[in-house]
Structure 1
Amino acid sequence: MADTLTQQDVQNLLLDPSPENRAAMAAKLGKSFDGQELSTSERVLAEDIVRIMAKDVAAKVRAALAESLKASATLPRDVALMLARDVESVSLPFIEVSSVLTEEDLIEIIRSGSSQKQTAVARRPDVTEGVAEELAERGDEAAVAALMSNEAAPVTARAMGRALDRFPASESVQAPLVNRAKLPVTVAERLVALVSEQLRERLVAKHELPSDIAADLVLQTRERATYGLVGGAGERDLERLVEQLRVSGRLSPSLLLRALCMGDLPFFEVALAQLGRIPIVNARMLIHDAGQLGLKSLSERAGIPAKLYPAIRIAVDVARETEFDGGDHDLERHRRRMLERILTQVEEMAGEDLDYLLNKLSDLTLAA
């Protein structure tokens, strides 16, 4: 420690105890505290100085000490706890980084600390499952939002569910949940009923949800705009949603069929245009071609399986024939008519698509 801490440093500190000099000493100490060259006696001296400075009356000195020692792996635990329990200006950078603090220490901070301290815990790169559970249970809204934003944190489905229980209307909690790289399907299903339309779109585009859930999510986000796009209102948002789905590999033929069967012809038109790599105006002309060749050629170009084409053909015909009277359950009647036509005239349909359409027909029939 010849160029860092010496006995002379201690004497200088006693002779000139100004906050500035004490803070400079704290920074100097931190740079050498983990040095391999420290002898046993120097280590004892360094720890004594650290304990004194951790109790300094000037927050400026304690803050300099905490900043310089936050990455130390050999800091005595009692000193680490003193710094973590200090005022926010001292403790926050230390709490967010220090590896000396144990899981028990961090849980204590969550239970007794301020919102800012809870948030500092949530931002740590080594948050454990137990700490994440405690934050979800006891952390305030800002801390829980920070936890959900921390991709390194192992947040369980249970912790996510608890966060939604406590903050069901908080977009600051919901948005980072939606944006996590992996999201349990059970949590995604809960988010459907809670999040905004924009976040629902992101759910569909980002996560590998089961096809029936993905279809329902698309339909829910599109419900209000289904028949309001004729004049162009909202078309930019629709194109952006379809593009997100296409890029993420979620714009499947089944999704197109299901959306079409639920009455969302504008979504089908934009999706087929993007998959076929042609302008939307051209796609609409081909889809509604009276000779019926246009839809078939565009479907093939877009990669629609031949087995799904008959159902799509019927759905487009029903959509073209339907006139809405504006009465109660208008859209439901249209959907039921379309599903009945498809299910009675298409013999080759099977598997998930058939199950989905049958379930939807059942739901509509019960609601009638």
Structure 2
Amino acid sequence: MIVRRFLLWARTANAEARASGAAALAGAYLHSGMSDEDRREAETALIALIDDPSPLVRRAIAEEVATSPRAPRALILNLIAEQSDVNALVLAHSPVLTEADLVDAAAVGDALAQRAIAQRPCLPTSVAAALAEVGCEEALLALAGNRSAWMPSFSLERMFERAGGSGALREALLARNDLPAGLRQAIAGRMSDALASFVSGCGWLTPERSARLARESTERVAVALAAGGEDSDAPAIVECLRENGRLTPGLMLRSLLSVEPALAEAAFSSLSGLPLARVSAILRDRSGASLRGLYRKAGMPGSLLPAFAAAIAALNISGFERVSGTQGIDRAIMASVMSCCESLEGSEADSLNGLLRRLDAEAAREEARLMADAFADDAALALLVEADPSLLVELDEADLRSAA
């Protein structure tokens, strides 16, 4: 009877009063001890109020029931069919909605609805996959930033495939810990290309120069990712590079010169069809007996064989493990390779030596930068000690504790 009187009152009340009354009725349904008959009438009344001419009423009901597991399913389904500011409240929070409901809502919803779904905590895999396939850029950005969403690798790849031109999306994807190594490499390549295009478009560098810098940046990232990830990362990165036409002999040589052979090994394995363990054994064979056969089977250019042979020979002497704390191209190995190749003649040899000189210049610049940073740190420390000599005692004690 109370519900019936409420509906009679609602016929003449103003919009604000109806919205307040609808919220009170929804709250009573969820939290008070109504009889079964009154609950049925209240549910019917709430569903009927969705047809109220004022959006204030629908929003008031949505705000009251959005987070409740006791909300009537029929009411929730009707609310998600309403305008965006109403359905987004329910889509973002309602525990009543099933995976199928959310997938369907993602397919037919606008940007606000899709973003609301993308922000749901612990978003199921099926819903995340649906959004990755049909979501707008705004929804994809929200999905990428949802750390609790259960995202399969193929969905992350699909998001990048559809909206990889968005810098914000690339940044959000790179911030995820579950991003596949191959996809991380693809994003790094896209970012390098975008930067090169911007720089050349501004007239700061020629297109050729900016393209070379972008390629070198992408190569450094690829070597670092392959070396610093799991055992399965290097093959995935290599496949990504092959698909995008970025797996070059120069990149493989850089991997060896940087004493980070994971990428070069995975590349030789992929190109030759030999198992990774077999490739690793060939590269670590000091006699070099099988290297030429591996090189030829991988379809590598003959002009670069002397450089590869010299780099691998140097690695077998110095070791394939990088010294802790170092990074970039190893200048000792670089010098050994340049010494072996400087006597070569012909146009192909000129191109090879040009490549080696560029890599050596890059290594020298990185070495100088690190040394300059170290000098600056020493100078800053000296000034601090000069200002407060007691710091020297504290530093000595800290060194002794560290050594112990």
TM-score normalised by length of structure 1: 0.56
Runs of at least 4 residues off by over 3 Å: 5-9, 196-205, 210-213, 254-259, 303-306, 315-321, 327-331, 335-338
- Aligned match of 1:19: 15
2:178 maps to 1:185 = no
Contact 2:257 2:333 in 1 (8 A): no
Match of 2:40 among 44, 48, 51: 44
Q: Are residues 255 and 59 of structure 1, via their aligned partners in 2, closer, same or farther at CA, if it must alter by over 3 Å?
A: farther
1:164 is the counterpart of 2:160: yes
Q: Would you say the 8 A contact 1:56–1:62 is kept in 2?
A: yes
State the alpha-carbon separation in 2 of the partners of residues 180 and 139 from structure 1.
19
Change in CA separation of 1:21 and 1:336 when aligned onto 2, cut-off 3 Å: closer
Q: Is the 8 A contact 1:33 1:72 kept in 2?
A: no
Instruction: Count residues in correspondence.
Output: 249
Q: Classify 1:196/1:32 alpha carbon distance in 2 versus 1 (closer, same or farther; 3 Å).
A: farther
Q: Pick one of 140, 149, 155 that aligns with 2:151.
A: 155
Query: For 1:31-180, what aligned pairs fall within 5 Å after superposition?
Result: 31-35=27-31, 37-180=33-176
Amino acid at match of 1:115: A
Say whether the 8 Å CA contact 1:26–1:68 is kept in structure 2. Answer: no
1:10–1:102 CA distance, 2 compared to 1 (3 A): same
SS of the aligned residue for 1:33 comes to helix
Cα–Cα, structure 1 residues 113 and 337, in superposed 2: closer, same or farther, change >3 Å? closer
Q: 1:152, 1:320 → 2: CA distance?
A: 51
Do 2:46 and 2:75's aligned partners in 1 also have CA atoms closer than 8 Å? yes
Q: Is the 8 A contact 1:107 1:134 kept in 2?
A: yes
User: Contact conserved, 2:338 with 2:353, CA < 8 A, in 1?
Assistant: no
Contact 2:124–2:150 (CA<8 Å) still a contact in 1?
Answer: yes
Q: Tell me which residue corresponds to 1:334.
A: 357
User: Is 1:209–2:221 an aligned residue pair?
Assistant: no
Equivalent pair of 2:164/2:187 in contact (CA under 8 Å) = no
Alignment of 1:206-355 (within 5 A): 209-210=229-230, 304=323, 312=330, 314-315=332-333, 332-334=355-357
* Structure 2 CA distance for aligned equivalents of residues 208 and 39 of structure 1: 64
Give deviations 1:301-359, integer Å, cap 9, x for gaps.
xx9469x99x95725867999xxxxx967661237889xxxxxxxxxxxxxxxxxxxxx
The letter of the residue matching 2:183 is: V
Q: What are the ranges of 5 or more consecutive residues in structure 2 without an aligned counterpart?
A: 196-216, 242-255, 262-321, 340-349, 362-404
Aligned counterparts of 1:69 and 1:202: Cα–Cα separation in 2:
49
Distance 1:125 1:149 in 2: 11
Measured in 1, the distance between the counterparts of 2:116 and 2:324 equals 52
Q: How far did 1:73 drift?
A: 1.2
User: Is this contact kept in 2: 1:178–1:202, CA < 8 A?
Assistant: no
Across the aligned residues of Structure 1 and Structure 2, the Cα RMSD in angstroms comes to 4.4
Cα distance between partner residues in 2 of 1:13 and 1:126: 42
- After superposition, the Cα gap between the structure-2 partners of 1:118 and 1:330, relative to the gap in structure 1 and judged at 3 Å, is farther
The answer on whether the counterparts of 1:96 and 1:120 sit within 8 Å (CA) in structure 2 is yes
Q: Is the 8 A contact 2:125 2:151 kept in 1?
A: yes
Work out which of the residue numbers 10, 35, 49 in structure 1 matches 2:6. 10
CA gap 1:145/1:196 in 2 versus in 1, 3 angstroms = farther
* Structure 1 residues not aligned, in runs of 5+: 221-253, 260-302, 322-326, 339-368
Q: 1:96 to 1:17 in 2, by over 3 A?
A: same
Alpha-carbon offset, residue 36 of structure 1: 5.7
Identity of aligned pairs, percent?
Answer: 24
